[in-house]
Structure 1
Amino acid sequence: MSQVCNKALQLSQQALSDKKRLAQHAGAELLAAASDLFKALELAEHEDATTTAAVYVASAEKRLRHADELLAEVGAILATGELTEETRDWYRNLDYDRLYRTGVELGMTSRGAELWSEITEVTVAQGPTGVCRALRDRVLATASLMAGWLGGAGDAESAGRIVRLQSAMSELTVHAQLMGYFNKVEPRDPHWLR
Structure 2
Amino acid sequence: MNGLRALPVAAIAAVALGLAATIAALQGDPPFGAVRIGPWASWPNLGDSEIDPYARAVVAVDGTLPIGAGEGLAFVAKTDSVGALLDARCDYRIAGGAPSARFWTLSAYDVDGRLRPNAAGRYGLTSAALLRDSDGGFAIDASREARPGNWLPLGEKSRFILVLRAYQLTSSAVAGAYEGLVLPEITRGACS
TM-score calculated relative to the size of structure 2: 0.25
Higher RCO (Cα < 8 Å, 6 or more apart): 1
TM-score calculated relative to the size of structure 1: 0.25
